[in-house]
Amino acid sequence: MIRATQEAINRNKTNQSLLREVLDESGLDQRGLAQYLGTSYFSVVRWERGDIEPRAEVINQLHRLLADIKAGRVIDLACLSMNRTFASHRIRHVSAANGYEGTVVMWDAPGPCLFSRLRNGSLWGSGQQRLAAILSAHAAAAQTVEEAVAEGVSAGKNTYTYDAHTYHTKMPPQGIAQVLRKYLPVGGLVLDPFAGSGMTGVAALTTGHDVILNELSPAASFIADCFTSQCDPAALQAAVKAVIGSLAGLRNDLYTTQCRTCGKDTELLFTVWSYKVVCSACNKEFVLWDECRSYGKTVREHKFLREFPCPHCKRPLKKSRLARTTPVPVLIGYKCCSKVQSEVPPSEADLKRIASIEADRFIAADFVPDCALPGGVNLSQPKRHGLVNIKHFYTARNLAAMSQLWKAIHRIEDTNLAAFLGFVFTSLYQRVTKLSEYRFWGGSGNTANFNVPYIFNEANVFVTFERKARSIIDHLETTAQSYAGRCIVNTGTATNLSFLPDNCIDLIFTDPPFGANINYSEMNMLWESWLGAYTDTTNEVIVNRVQKKDAKKYQDLMTQSLEECYRVLRHGHWLVLVFMNSSKDIWHCIRRAVLDAGFSIERIDIFDKQHGTFKQFVSDNTAGADLMLHCYKPVYANSVKAANDAANVISVKDFLHSRRSAIPVLPYLHVKREADIDYRTLYSEYLAESLLRYGKMLDFALFRSQAMDILENKKGVA
């Protein structure tokens, strides 16, 4: 192993001792302490093990907590969470959204398209008037710092706000807020040119900063506009009840089954569908569900086998290679007279109900998305399985429910309430489609790709809508209540920010598309087909073979975007860019684009989201912690020195030898794997050093291989 400096080892031991004393004296467990600190369980585990060091402000929090304990003051986690702007979703709170005394007006017929009610040209909300007011209020430059803020960020995803609405990638807003406070301590105007779901806007509003969000996708713009707007939680709760109530008959028709115990009608919560498959050896068909299930001692140990024998010829088969035919319902779930949820095979009555629904008599024809899938990197897999149109992503039952729900939302008179009902509607995303993979232990994930699983879960649309409404109300009652700044959202390309004048922005915080990692315009089609507005991909900053955009094109588009950032940012102010990729080529593109735009890279830190993605936990070649590049626009133009990209590669051996702290270790809290060396954090540190020294870089796979040879094979470093 590499020897850490004695100073770093001693400091880490001191922090570990402090943490253990706090845990012992407070009576809190690791999860409770994580709630108190507003951080993640994952981080607390790593701090206690000594894998990583807590930030200075966390250490100060621990000292204050210890002092409170010794002074006899009571720790009230629930009260603390509710008083915190970004409240943890692990803390139960009592909703106040039940006392609405107003009236939710529903028109007899649907009104104008929701999208047209919310947007004025490219601007959302009050449009040019609000933009002019914001720009006028910031005619003079805000105070900022002369040197890059010398501290990384650690912020978790376990908040009501983060849970409110899904998006492919989201930065924890409380982490962004840390950055804003440091760079703009007394206010100022913030810009995010790649706004995504609007987390920079959320952070800015909670810190009292005004903010401008620019986003290419109409769907993401809609999500960002809702995330940065306010709504009376009680009014939204009443509107949810009004809309759901207006569809009570349909809900009964679509989602009723008979309790197998008491014989009464009860609501269907979900239906599991399995594809029939064809044996590659004997060419006979069978239902996959019947053959590939394996049950363990606990539900978490239940799984679907990757390999199993054919029920006909007994030849060993690999699930991933089996040809599919048609999906059939194999299991339903409901809760009636038993204390636990019942899960049983569908009855004849259930099958007859499905058949009657498939006759399309429940569909709201004018409110069904009819969008044929174009060519795309993430679109070929669903097309191979017959999902050639967005409407095919839904079962007949869920398409009927979604279309009627969307129609009912368009009957809401109040535009803000209609928008937030639409916000709840779009939050369902993949959860109510055939893309929702069935899990024995429940729940469903929204992945950043379109993949049709062999066995999928058909969730009750109305139950899911009500549950997601509660999540959004949680956000409105906590984070959104503290909004103090103003926000405007613009739909447009970051390569052209002509709606903004020169030298008007005090700070830019952004996390642009990570090369080819996520194909946003393809993934957003599921939302945009309902909204009726689609992304113009002409200047989408991405690596995508279908769009004929390689790394060079990505660099060109990123350079144009950063040149626009340079133009609108004030001299002597900062661009903070968050980025991660496992490809050295993409990292060279990013560094070149930043420098060619005129910025200098003054410092690089880690932006730790505290929870890795599932792919990061199980894939050896997926990079981890994001890097935060602190980029400076000089007071005098053309004062940035040209960088030499022809420098030698910084060797992994030299990098490891120069590190001052202990080698980080990664505990796998949710995946059954032994703790091992955290190569992703090491790679982030290696990239930071290489970027600042203008050295060539290694791909993550090669870095990991070389680091593993040195660390795990005990070759050592001289």
pLDDT in tens, 266-324: 999 999 999 999 999 999 999 999 999 999 988 888 999 999 999 999 999 999 999 99
CA-to-CA distance for 437 and 358, rounded, in angstroms?
A: 22
Residue range 8-12: average pLDDT?
Answer: 57
Looking at 135-139, 447-451, 571-575, 696-700, which range is the least confident one? 447-451
Of 589, 580, 572, the closest CA to residue 607 belongs to: 580
- pLDDT confidence bin for 7, thresholds 50/70/90: low
Residue range 70-80: average pLDDT?
Answer: 64
Percentage, residues of the chain above pLDDT 70? 86
pLDDT of amino acid 643 = 55
**pLDDT beyond 90 at 52:** no
Looking at 64-73, 336-345, 460-469, 674-683, which range is the least confident one? 674-683
pLDDT of amino acid 617 = 39
Q: What is the DSSP letter of 692?
A: H
Residue range 592-604: average pLDDT?
Answer: 95
- pLDDT confidence bin for 30, thresholds 50/70/90: confident
- pLDDT confidence bin for 77, thresholds 50/70/90: low
Q: Residue 359: helix, strand or coil by DSSP?
A: coil
Instruction: Show me where the domains of the chain are located.
Output: 6-75, 122-228+483-643, 242-463, 647-718
Which residue intervals of 412-500 are DSSP H helices?
415-427, 461-477
State which amino acid sits at residue 576.
Answer: V
What is the per-residue pLDDT across 386-401, written as a single tens digit (0 to 9) for each?
999 999 999 999 999 9
- pLDDT confidence bin for 619, thresholds 50/70/90: very low
Q: Residue 287: helix, strand or coil by DSSP?
A: strand
Contacts of 607 (CB under 8 A, 6+ apart): 152, 153, 155, 171, 175, 578, 625, 626, 627, 628
The sign of the torsion formed by the CA atoms of 476, 478, 481, 484 equals negative
Q: Residue 210: helix, strand or coil by DSSP?
A: strand
Residue range 160-169: average pLDDT?
Answer: 90
- pLDDT confidence bin for 122, thresholds 50/70/90: very high
The CATH code of the domain at 6-75 is 1.10.260
pLDDT of amino acid 466 = 98
CA-to-CA distance for 688 and 681, rounded, in angstroms?
A: 11
Of 714, 641, 703, the closest CA to residue 678 belongs to: 703
pLDDT of amino acid 110 = 97
Looking at 38-47, 382-391, 522-531, 654-663, which range is the least confident one? 38-47
pLDDT of amino acid 507 = 98
The CATH code of the domain at 122-228+483-643 is 3.40.50.150
Q: Do the two domains 6-75 and 122-228+483-643 of this chain adopt the same fold?
A: no
Q: The pTM is what?
A: 0.88
pLDDT of amino acid 334 = 97
Residue range 93-104: average pLDDT?
Answer: 71
